[in-house]
Each structure stands twice: as C-alpha cells, then as structure tokens.
Structure 1
Amino acid sequence: MNRKVLLLMAASQAALFGGTGAASAQTTPVAAQTTPANATDTQSSSELPDIVVTAQRQSETLQRAAASVSVRSGSDLLAAGKFALSAILEDVPGVSGGAAATPTGMAGSSSGNDSPAAGLTIRGIPSNSGVGGSATSIATSAAIYVDGIYNGVGSSYDIDRVEILRGPQGTLYGRSATTGVVVIKTRDPALGIVEGNIAAEAGNYDLEHYYGAVNVPLVSDVIALRVSGNYYSRDGYDTHDVDKGELGYRGGAMRSTDFRAKMLIAPTSTFSVLLGVAGQNNKIYSSGNSMNLQADGTYDKLYGDVGPGTNKFRQYWAEFNLDLGGANLVYIPAFRTWTSSALNYGRVPAIGLAVDQDISTPKDEFMTHELRLASQQGGKLKWQIGALYYQNDLRSIVKATDGYSGALLYNSDVAKKTTAAGVFGEATYALADTTRLNAGLRYDYTKVAVDQTYTANLNLCCGGPLGSTTYGYPEILQTQTLSGQEGKRTYRNVTYKVRLEHDLSPETSSMR
C-alpha cells in the first residue's frame, strides 16, 4: 500500500434499508473501475488492482490521490441493495445524510427539497435550511455532482461508482463544496453489447422496490442506448389507523419513481456525444403525530392529520467529448426543473399551537454550462482549466394558517433569480517520481435578485392582541415587500490552494 502523508481507508459496506426480505436477479453486474497494478499481463493473487478515481477531474489511482477520498463501486452497492443516497453514504467516515426527502430541520414534512445535498453533512457541518418552511435553493455546504452536473437527478440507481471527497473542494467545484463533494457516475451506454440488470425487493411496512436497466446497441460500435428505472414505495412508521389513503394509513409513507435514458453517439475515436434525460416523481406524507407532556412527566403520542406532498424533477443534458491530441475538451450543458405542492400540519396541543402550512413551488428552473480543457495523461505536467455558468429562476409560495380558526398566520411569495459564473484552473507538476507540486485558483461571481411579498397577521404573532372574539380574528394584516436594489446582492469569491505531495514509500498492492 502506498503510504502518504494522508492515509486513505475505505470502510466496509453495510446492510440495506430495513426490509425483512428481498429477492433479486441480475446479469452482467457492474464492475468497479480499475486498472492493473503493474504493466504485466498477469497479476499475483496477493496483489490488489488499483482503484482509479476522477473526482479531482483527472484520472489517478486512489493511492496517489492526495485527498481524503472514499470510493463505492456500483457492483458493491447493487449487491448490498443500496438504492438511496443516504444508505450509500451511511458507512462513509465523516459523512451522513444525503438526498433529503424533507428540508433540513423539518422532520416529518411532506414538501421535499429541490437540492439533493440539503441533508448532506460532511465532517459535522450541515447545510443551511430555508426560512419559514421554504424547501428551495439554499446554498449547501457540500456539493453533489451526478454525471458531471451540479445537483443532478438520478443519484441512487444504476451506478458505476461513487467518490466522496472530504474537506474543501472550492478550487474545482466552487463555494457549494466548502466541506466536501460527492461525485456520482451512473453507467453509460456500452457500444456493441446487450446487457442489463434487474432487482426486486419486498419488506415490512408494505415495502416494494423494483429496479431495472438495459443496454442495447442501435448502430454497431457507433450508437448505444441505456434505459434504467427505479421504483420505491413503503408505508409510514406511524401505526395510527386513521386517514387511510392512497399510500396507506401511516404517516411518513412515501413513493418514488425514477427513470433515465442515455444515448451514446461515437462516430469517431476522437469525438463522442452523450445525450440524457432523467426524471423523478415523489409522493410523501407528513408524520401526522406529536408528543404531549403529561403531569406525571411521561409523554403521550397524539395523532393528527397527515399532510400529502408531491414533487417532480426533470433533467435534460448532454456531454460532448473531443480529443484534440494533446488535450481533451469537455462541454456539459444541462437543464433541470423542480415543481412541488405540499400541505403540512403542525400540532402542539400542550400549548394550543396548530399551524397548517401550504407550500408550493410552481417554478424552479436550473440551467448550467460547464466547459473544461485538460491535458492528456503522461508527462511531468498535468493541467486543467474550465468555466461554469449557473442560473436558477425560482418562485416559491408558503402560506401558514391557524389550524383551529383558519385565520392567516403569514403568507410569503418569493421570486428569486440567481446567476453565477466561475473560471478555474489547476496544475500538477512532478518534481520527481515520488514528489509533486499542485496549485489551483478559482474566481466566482454570483448575483442574487429577490422580489418578495410578506403578509403577517398581527393578531396571531408579533405581540399583537389575541382576538376579542375568535382567535386570529379580526385579521390584522401587515404587508411588507422586498424588491429592486434592496433585493439584490452580489458576491465575489477567490479560492486558491498550493499543495506539496510526497510518497513516503514505493507503491505496492500486496495488502489484502
């Protein structure tokens, strides 16, 4: 094993969600991306193949990567039955959460979240959560990239590999990678072969899970198509037999349907195009219960209404790869949308609090363009330069009412547009076979424009009177707005790094 200043360890895989039984069938399982440990055609049975990682946007072995990296192969994840990002990351040191179904700090909510990194915590630093129940577009402390796309769709099935980098990665990934980054590569179409995978699972709480993928060549050695899908449904963990609905009577029930299609077109050995479309439909029910403190110091569970919520992702993207001889050019344009509608019920009978939240996101559109130029493998100098453009156009509405009287508590209507652009570069020079100098620099410019109308009922908050007839009535409404220059902010960030790498011993692969 190559011993470095930073020792990397990959934890063993753990078990799946919590179902009581599973059955699966599969063909041509995914293999971990590896390269021979030496140049010979045969390898000793005591040697391990080198794991190749690309999270730092260059191919390198895991032993030579001077970063805290953990890797999970798609074949291992499939064998363990892990189809949720939170399960994929559960045994990664220093990492928890991921792909939160509900916003951070809103346990039991049915609103979902437009960012798969909303529940991702690396090295104990969580992301911010939206104010007043908002479930949209909050800058995260850690970033998730799926197939090269920031906050991409489809991170939990038909995976080739997952790479997790702990620690700041701002030079290559920007300000949303302050604590680290999770890079997920799903399986690309393979030219000239027919293959596929299928899996089925059943468990307690009416768990049903089905997964499948198929790869077919359309034009021999030129065009191939890969289609995959994932369906997951379970009842909630709250066993109260009230409000039986489409997904059962238990609060916290959920259903998710995913699909993805990728087409690879490779007309020459130096040029290829990957076209993709992906989607996800989610239905979530709030928990519908609360705890009430009794006089003897014990708690009773109180059951309330279960609020339904739905949200939907759609994503369209392409990846263009061009071999220029001495360098590779990659261009990735992507467009993603998210819409949602949810109703949450909050009940704390001990203090007479009842708040009903109607949360909707009629518009949430993301557009990204990323261009990268990188040197070919070999030689003492490895370098890469690139540029990123990001735009988000959002409309979010949160309306809260008193659950007893129906009076308005507050109403927030927000339109927000975020535009960002960044340029970056990084280079590594081999001073010797075992010593390398690495340096990187990035500049980001971000502009945020917010138009918000906020209406509050002073008879329910803010120290106003508590209503002489019915709580919340008469409604005493006050409205404030934020727009124009008052709602605009700009941010300029410069990120840099300088690192000296040295191998303390020759590279070997003799450890088991």
Structure 2
Amino acid sequence: MTKILGFAALMAGTALVMPAQAWAQGADQVSGEASDEIIVTATREARSLQSVPMSVNVATGEQIQKLSLLDAKDIQQLSPGLEMTNSTGRNNTTTLRGVSFDPDQGTSPAVQIYFNEIPTDAQTAFTAIYDVQQVEVLRGPQGLLRGLSAPAGSITIATRRPNFDEIEGYAQATATDRAGYNVQGGVSLPFNDTLALRVSGLVDGNRINNVRNVNRDNDRSYGRTESVRATLGFKPSADFTAYLTYQYLTADNTQYQQVVGSGNTPYFQLLPLLGGFAVPNTSYESGPALKASDYGAVAEGAFRSQNETHIVNLAADWDLGPATLSFVGAHQYSLLKIARDLDPGNAVPDYVAASNVRIPYKVDTAELRLSSNNKEGLGWGVGAFYTHQTGTTRVRQTSDAFFFPVSPADSQAVLGALPYLPIEANITVPVNTTTWSFNGNLRYRSGPLSIEGGLRYTIIKANQTSQLSLSSPGNFLACPNFGCAAFTVPAYEIIPADLQHRTYKPLTGGVNLSYQVMPTLNVYAAYGHSYRAGSTGVGVPDGVSNDLIQTQPEKTDSFEAGLKGSFGNRRFNYTLSAYYQKLDNYLSRFTGIYYQSFVAAPPTGFYDFNYNGDAKIKGVEASLDGRVTRNWDFGVSAAYTRARYDNALLPCNDYDGSGVPNQNGATPTVTGTDNVSYCVSNDRLSDVPDFSLTANTEIRVPMGAVTPFVRALFTYRPGFYSQRVDYNYQDRELLNLFVGFRTEDQRFELTAFAKNLLNQQRITSMSLGNAAYATATSNAQLDSGYRLVNVMNPREFGLTGSFRF
C-alpha cells in the first residue's frame, strides 16, 4: 500500500516536485518575479550555475530552513545519487555516484567536505548545520580546483557572512513529537563600512535513529549538539576583504545499533552426568525476536560518541587589478571520545566487550591562489596548498579469548572457571601526515567558447605506526589443554617497518570545454583525473599478509558530457549529463571478515580489512524545473549510476566454499590457504540502488497580509539485491509534507510538517549474516541470532517558527 501511495505522490509530481537546482534558479517565492541567477563557486570563481561545466546541485540557506533540514545528512534529499548515512553515531559516510567511503579505512574520503573552502572531516561538518549561506554538491572526480583529490565529488558548505550595511538576522525554533528540538539563530552587527560581525548559534536534541535498547531498560538513542560561531568581516577598501571565523562545537550522542532477527541462546549448558552432552541454555538469551519496525537494540553496553571541536578560519581576497590574490587558512582541533560495546548483537550474554577510544587531532591548513581577473581571452591561475595533521589515537579494549560456547555459570560449575581468558589490549596510533600541492591552470574564453584545464602536483608524506600491548590476569582452568597463565606483553610495533613510512607524488587535474550554442543553451565536455593514497591498517591482527595491512593507491579517470538550458522565457530549466569513470585499485573496507592468523593465539577471529579492487562507473543525470504559474513551482531530478567492481578479488566470508559472500552454516571457516577467504566480485561498490530521484515544490496562495503555502519533498529509491550482504533491499518512498503561512514582508513564518508521511520503515543497510563472536574451539562460535541494520526513521510531526529581522 505504501508503495502505491509513494508512486501516487510521484505522479502528482509534476505538481509536487522541485529539485535543488530549481530552488536555486527559481523566482522569488512571494512576489513571483524572477530572482537573481544563482552564483556558485564550484570552479573557484563566482559563476552562474548554468554556465559551470560540471554537474552541481545547490541548496541555499533559505531552502535548508524552509524544508526543516535540521540534519546535514538530509541534504541528500535534494541531490539524486547522494547518500549520507551515520550507522553508529560516529562515522558519517557520504556516497555519490555509487562511490562510498568508510571513515575507518584511514584514507581520504571519496567525497571531500569543505567548510568555508577548507577541507574538514564529515564528522564535524555534518554534526551541526545552521546559519548556512549555501551548500554545493560537486559531482565527479575532483583533482585540480581544491587542495585534496576525491574520486566521487566534493561538498562545499559556506556559512553566512556579516552584513556591512544593516543589522539583520533570524531566529528559528523547531519541536517534534519524538522529543526533538532545534533552536538556532544569527545576527549581523555592522560597526561601520569597514568592520562587521556576525554571531550565530545552535542547540539541537533528537533521538537520532529512534532505537531503544531492550537489554538496557528500553533506554533510547539520544543526541545533543551545541555550537556557536562568530565571523568578523574586514573591508578597508573595495579591493580587499577578509573574514575571520571561529566555531565551537560540542556533541554528545548515545546511538544504539539496531538489530533484527529471532535472537538466540548462544551458550550451551554442560551436562557431565549425562556423558558430556551440551544443550542450549535458555536462561542466557541474546534478546527477543525483533523486526525492523521494533527499532530495537540488544547490546548490554552503551555506545556513546562525544565530539568537541574548535575551528578558526581566515579567508582574504585582494584585488590587484590584473589578478586577485586569495588566501584561505584554518586551524582545527578536535577531540573525539568513543565508548562502545564491541558485541552489538549480544552474542555473549551477560558480558560487555568494552572499548574506549580517544582521538585528538590537530589540522593546520593553508592555501594561496593568484588568478587573473580577465573574463575574456587567455586567463591563468596558480596556487599552493598545505595541510598537516597530527594526533595520537589511544584505544583500550577487552580482547578476551573465548574457548567454549558455554555460559559463565555453567563453566564455573563444571570446569571451575570462566570459559574465556581475560585480555586487555591497548593500542596507540600516532598520526603524522603532511600534504603539499601546487597547481596551475589556463583558460581561454572568446564569445560562446570556453576552454579550461590544469594540473596539480601533490606530495603526500604519511608516517603511521601502531603500538600494541596486552595483559591478562590469567585463567588456568579455562584452558584445560595447556593452561592460561597471567602475562604482560609490553608495547610492540605491529606494522612492519617497510610499511610505516609512505610518500606519494601524484599528478592530477582535468580539462573542460563549454560552448554557448544559444543564449538559453550551453553544452560542455569534461575530463578529470583524481588520486587517493593508500592506507595502513592499525590494530590489524598479527600474522596476516601485507595486502591485508596496507592498501595500494587509487587512481581515477572520468569523462563527462552534458548540456544545460532553459525555455519558456527562462521559466523552465533543464540539465542532462552522461559520464563514464574507471577506477584502478578502488579503496574500500570490508567489515566482519573471518580470518585465521598464522602466528597469533587465539588463531581466529573477525576483523575489518581495507582492500583494493578495480571498478567501472557509468551513468546519466537529468533535471527539469520551472514555474507553472506565479505561485506554483515544480521540478524533478534523477540519476542512474551503475557502479560495479570489475572482476575484483576481494576479502569475503565464504563459509560454504561457493565463491560468493555468505555465512551459510554455523561454522566460520576460511576458504583456501590464505588469512581470509577471497571472492571474485562484479557487484556494487556500495549498497545503494542504481536509480534515485529527488523532488520538491512549493504552492502559495497569497491572501493579503499573509501567504499560506504547501511544500512537499519527495525522494525515491528502488529496491535492489546486494551480493555483499546477500539481501534484497526494498524500495523506499520518502515523502515530507509542510503546511504553513508567512507574512507579506517575509519576516515571520510558521510551518507544521510531517516527515516520512507514509511511515515507511525500510531497512537501509544490513550486515552479512548474524553478528557473532569467534571462539578458539574448532567449529564453534557464539551466534547472536541478529543481523545489524539501519532503518528509515519513523514518521515524525513537528512545528517550526522563524522570524527574520
């Protein structure tokens, strides 16, 4: 029924849809008159969106506020093919054009995030979104225009700057029926024509994924974020401007991992008087049967992530006449603290696999550019970029070795000791990475023709080591075959010496050509080459091969052609593009892989490994938007991307030896003689569908002093099969509806909304097989009976009031 309703909403569509580009280029929402053309900085210069020779989606600050996009990840609803997820509360992941990234893989991201033109981590950039001027989603490889290369695209977030002319600002408050609240605001204070200040802030609280933990008194996931930002603007003349920004952010999230399944009784009860038989011990259950709609978790420990961040940013532009000298620089200090239970499926009842991680990092970044100012003829630009990151991550966690799938109570009664050897592991990971890059570009513009191209030479130096120490009080009776004495292993280096120091010197860049066929039609073609350095795994199990420790660099070549145009006296806009991309040694992460060590004891377990595999991507993107009447906008945008591995040999779980990922049967095993099983894959690069569609609209009914309106925001994702996790994902139709009114002067607006109006509760990600704990006993493991999942947030009603002054 929900699927039918979803498609009904889509078919009403030409009346209830409008993509991001339409909002960017539409007319004034009250007057109905044509507004100024949207200006983007995708090419590091101010240009109209229609003339930029690349695929770009734009979300303005006004649009973000009107659609109550209180979470930065909601921007994906405005950009087809963009998926932004956070499955654990700490690892924001961005997927674009089918290319994904796991922050734990230790490489630069597939989609690079820029905050006021300075690269930053997604964990910080996506935690608090408020007082934003504009968000731009740049599609395709980025290897020239900004300091860091990325294979899938970039997202630039620009915050509002102070107004030098008048006092102005806004205040906005939102409350929802699911204990959510969001209060934000900002104000510009011009001291004179030369100096101005803008101050803004945010307080936000919500239930994150709306999951409750049935094994922790139904405690719910919950997060709270507080942030403040101050920007000082300095404009001593028409030729020089500078903006100094400071932002403080603190976030505290407890986000439980949702599970689905029947649950299990992982322990066995030993009956020695009956000849040593073992039967399921029903007094030790992982938890009850849970469905996706239950939004349930079973981990007996909490999962708390804390982030405290300070960012200082300086941007300056000096017009020298023939050229402009620009500088952007920033200092970021972040401290992340993560406490979690490494047994999210509760495969070991009455036991918490505690892990505590402390990640401080300091990043200093600077970029200097000199670009000619001429718009016609031969133009040029040169630049230098520098970034340096330091910080020492410290991990303290239990790494106990289980020997029998037996409950603690039964093992004490029969064996006289607990069935595991307590082990505490301490891992220290110093990080010291420096990147220098130098770029140059040329452009030629003459009438309707524009040709632009350039190269960037980068030097990446990374020193990565990882020290591991182990200790145990011992447990002699838990190891009846050989005994388990107390021991201490002093810190020792676990990364081979020849893998500790890496230097990469890639050459990236691109070229594009655009031609204005007529005033209302532009065509373009583009080529881009990007690069990502490999990574060295930390905390990797001892006794595994080098290919499981360090990945190879990734190289990407992309070709794109498209057109952008308008018709109907520019009341309607359209875009169409097609692209092909080849990735050599695509970098990805494979989680929960069963391994066998050649030297360690215990010799088996589960781990997350980084690995390379060749891949190919091809796709088409299109959009249409316009204004049917003075008070009715519509539009729709869609993307089809086929991103697949190309006969790549990848780590997998292949318990039955079939050559495809599976966990069939209760016995974990490695197929072959290597540390892990390997499967040949032509599967998706990430668990996202090939097709996606996004749309939104606003219908207004002016009534004198007030203007009532109805807005709708719709996204569609079809179902698909994922070989990696052996699961058929269902289709998703997400419909958000907004009803409200604004005053004639646009100062006050009141909006009631319903998010996920259809109340779909579809699984958006799932683990391969049940969450399990390996044991040292041959052919035995502790099976939780649950698969780890993420599910669409349930329907949520809310009310937003905003005031502009």
Q: Could you say which TM-score interval applies, normalised by the shorter chain? A: 0.7 to 0.9
In structure 2, what is the equivalent of residue 329 of structure 1? 325
DSSP 3-state at the match of 1:274 = strand
Cα distance, 1:358 vs. partner?
0.9
Q: Deviations over 1:222-281 (max 9, x none)?
A: 10000011111123623347768xxxx634211111111000011111112211100110
Q: Contact 1:342 / 1:359 at 8 angstroms: preserved in 2?
A: yes
Q: 1:189 and 2:166 equivalent? A: no
- Which stretch shifts more, 374-383 or 224-233? 374-383
Q: Deviations over 1:79-104 (max 9, x none)?
A: 11213220123330121116x5xxxx
In structure 2, what is the equivalent of residue 286 of structure 1? 255
Letter of the aligned partner of 1:271 in structure 2?
F
Q: Which has the higher contact order (CA 8 A, sep 6+)?
A: 2
DSSP 3-state at the match of 1:384 = strand
Q: 1:230 and 2:243 equivalent? A: no
Aligned counterparts of 2:507 and 2:501: Cα–Cα separation in 1: 21
In structure 2, what is the equivalent of residue 209 of structure 1? 182
Q: Deviations over 1:404-445 (max 9, x none)?
A: 879225321110100010011222212x42222121110000
Q: 1:299 and 2:297 equivalent? A: no
In structure 1, what is the equivalent of residue 492 of structure 2? 480
In structure 1, what is the equivalent of residue 414 of structure 2? none
Letter of the aligned partner of 1:342 in structure 2?
I
Count of residues paired in the alignment: 448
In structure 1, what is the equivalent of residue 88 of structure 2? 108
Q: Give runs of aligned pairs for residues 385-404 of structure 1, distance below 5 A.
A: 385-401=382-398
Task: Specify whether residues 35 and 402 from structure 1 end up closer, same or farther in structure 2 by C-alpha distance, changes over 3 A only.
Answer: closer
- Aligned partner of 1:440 among 430, 444, 454: 454
Cα distance, 1:453 vs. partner?
0.4
Q: Give runs of aligned pairs for residues 86-125 of structure 1, distance below 5 A.
A: 86-97=73-84, 100=86, 107-108=87-88, 112=90, 118-125=92-99
Letter of the aligned partner of 1:468 in structure 2?
C
Aligned counterparts of 1:350 and 1:401: Cα–Cα separation in 2: 15
Q: 1:69 and 2:56 equivalent? A: yes
In structure 2, what is the equivalent of residue 339 of structure 1? 335
Aligned counterparts of 2:483 and 2:449: Cα–Cα separation in 1: 70
Cα distance, 1:154 vs. partner?
5.5
In structure 1, what is the equivalent of residue 464 of structure 2? 450
Aligned counterparts of 2:488 and 2:149: Cα–Cα separation in 1: 38
Aligned counterparts of 2:36 and 2:211: Cα–Cα separation in 1: 47
Cα distance, 1:12 vs. partner?
3.1
Aligned counterparts of 1:295 and 1:223: Cα–Cα separation in 2: 66
Gaps of 5+ in 2: 1-16, 266-287, 291-295, 401-407, 409-419, 521-565, 573-625, 627-805
Q: Contact 1:167 / 1:180 at 8 angstroms: preserved in 2?
A: yes
Letter of the aligned partner of 1:250 in structure 2?
D
Letter of the aligned partner of 1:396 in structure 2?
T
Aligned counterparts of 1:226 and 1:33: Cα–Cα separation in 2: 24
Q: Contact 2:435 / 2:458 at 8 angstroms: preserved in 1?
A: yes
Cα distance, 1:467 vs. partner?
3.7
In structure 2, what is the equivalent of residue 256 of structure 1? 225
Q: Contact 1:170 / 1:177 at 8 angstroms: preserved in 2?
A: yes
Q: Deviations over 1:54-111 (max 9, x none)?
A: 111012111111101111111111111213220123330121116x5xxxxxx335xx
Cα distance, 1:328 vs. partner?
1.0
Q: What TM-score comes out, normalization by structure 2 length?
A: 0.51
Cα distance, 1:483 vs. partner?
8.3
In structure 2, what is the equivalent of residue 423 of structure 1? 438
Q: Deviations over 1:141-166 (max 9, x none)?
A: 11111111111766621111111110
Aligned counterparts of 2:482 and 2:34: Cα–Cα separation in 1: 74
- Which stretch shifts more, 336-345 or 153-162? 153-162
In structure 2, what is the equivalent of residue 374 of structure 1? 371
Letter of the aligned partner of 1:51 in structure 2?
I
Task: Specify whether residues 143 and 243 from structure 1 end up closer, same or farther in structure 2 by C-alpha distance, changes over 3 A only.
Answer: same
Q: Contact 2:299 / 2:341 at 8 angstroms: preserved in 1?
A: no
Q: Contact 1:424 / 1:441 at 8 angstroms: preserved in 2?
A: yes
In structure 1, what is the equivalent of residue 45 of structure 2? 58
Cα distance, 1:201 vs. partner?
0.8
Q: Deviations over 1:310-358 (max 9, x none)?
A: 2211011211221101111111121001112221013344466852211
Letter of the aligned partner of 2:423 in structure 1?
L
Larger radius of gyration: 2
Q: Deviations over 1:191-211 (max 9, x none)?
A: 031011111111133112100
Task: Specify whether residues 269 and 129 from structure 1 end up closer, same or farther in structure 2 by C-alpha distance, changes over 3 A only.
Answer: closer
Aligned counterparts of 2:257 and 2:456: Cα–Cα separation in 1: 46
Q: Give runs of aligned pairs for residues 158-169 of structure 1, distance below 5 A.
A: 158-169=131-142
What is the alpha-carbon root mean square deviation over aligned residues? 3.4
- Which stretch shifts more, 88-97 or 253-262? 88-97
Aligned counterparts of 1:146 and 1:394: Cα–Cα separation in 2: 21
Cα distance, 1:381 vs. partner?
2.8
Q: Contact 1:370 / 1:387 at 8 angstroms: preserved in 2?
A: yes
In structure 1, what is the equivalent of residue 479 of structure 2? 468
DSSP 3-state at the match of 1:299 = coil
DSSP 3-state at the match of 2:51 = coil
Letter of the aligned partner of 1:408 in structure 2?
I
Aligned counterparts of 1:319 and 1:327: Cα–Cα separation in 2: 17
Letter of the aligned partner of 1:418 in structure 2?
T
- Aligned partner of 2:313 among 314, 317, 325: 317
DSSP 3-state at the match of 2:65 = helix
Q: Contact 2:435 / 2:461 at 8 angstroms: preserved in 1?
A: yes
Aligned counterparts of 1:35 and 1:201: Cα–Cα separation in 2: 26
Aligned counterparts of 1:255 and 1:45: Cα–Cα separation in 2: 39
Q: Contact 2:26 / 2:35 at 8 angstroms: preserved in 1?
A: no
DSSP 3-state at the match of 2:510 = strand
Aligned counterparts of 1:230 and 1:497: Cα–Cα separation in 2: 39
In structure 1, what is the equivalent of residue 8 of structure 2? none
Task: Specify whether residues 472 and 367 from structure 1 end up closer, same or farther in structure 2 by C-alpha distance, changes over 3 A only.
Answer: farther
Task: Specify whether residues 330 and 291 from structure 1 end up closer, same or farther in structure 2 by C-alpha distance, changes over 3 A only.
Answer: same
In structure 2, what is the equivalent of residue 134 of structure 1? none
Q: Contact 1:289 / 1:304 at 8 angstroms: preserved in 2?
A: no
Q: Contact 2:211 / 2:256 at 8 angstroms: preserved in 1?
A: yes
Gaps of 5+ in 1: 1-10, 15-31, 37-43, 101-106, 132-136
Aligned counterparts of 2:353 and 2:440: Cα–Cα separation in 1: 50
Cα distance, 1:380 vs. partner?
2.3
Aligned counterparts of 1:51 and 1:319: Cα–Cα separation in 2: 22
Q: 1:364 and 2:361 equivalent? A: yes
Task: Specify whether residues 243 and 127 from structure 1 end up closer, same or farther in structure 2 by C-alpha distance, changes over 3 A only.
Answer: same
Cα distance, 1:450 vs. partner?
1.9
Q: Contact 1:408 / 1:472 at 8 angstroms: preserved in 2?
A: no
Aligned counterparts of 1:257 and 1:473: Cα–Cα separation in 2: 49
Q: Contact 2:25 / 2:38 at 8 angstroms: preserved in 1?
A: yes
Q: Contact 1:235 / 1:250 at 8 angstroms: preserved in 2?
A: no
Q: What TM-score comes out, normalization by structure 1 length?
A: 0.78
Q: Contact 1:290 / 1:303 at 8 angstroms: preserved in 2?
A: no
DSSP 3-state at the match of 1:446 = strand
DSSP 3-state at the match of 2:78 = coil
Cα distance, 1:472 vs. partner?
11
Aligned counterparts of 2:19 and 2:421: Cα–Cα separation in 1: 50
Q: Deviations over 1:21-65 (max 9, x none)?
A: xxxxxxxxxxx98899xxxxxxx9786642211111012111111
Q: Contact 2:59 / 2:135 at 8 angstroms: preserved in 1?
A: yes
Task: Specify whether residues 377 and 416 from structure 1 end up closer, same or farther in structure 2 by C-alpha distance, changes over 3 A only.
Answer: same
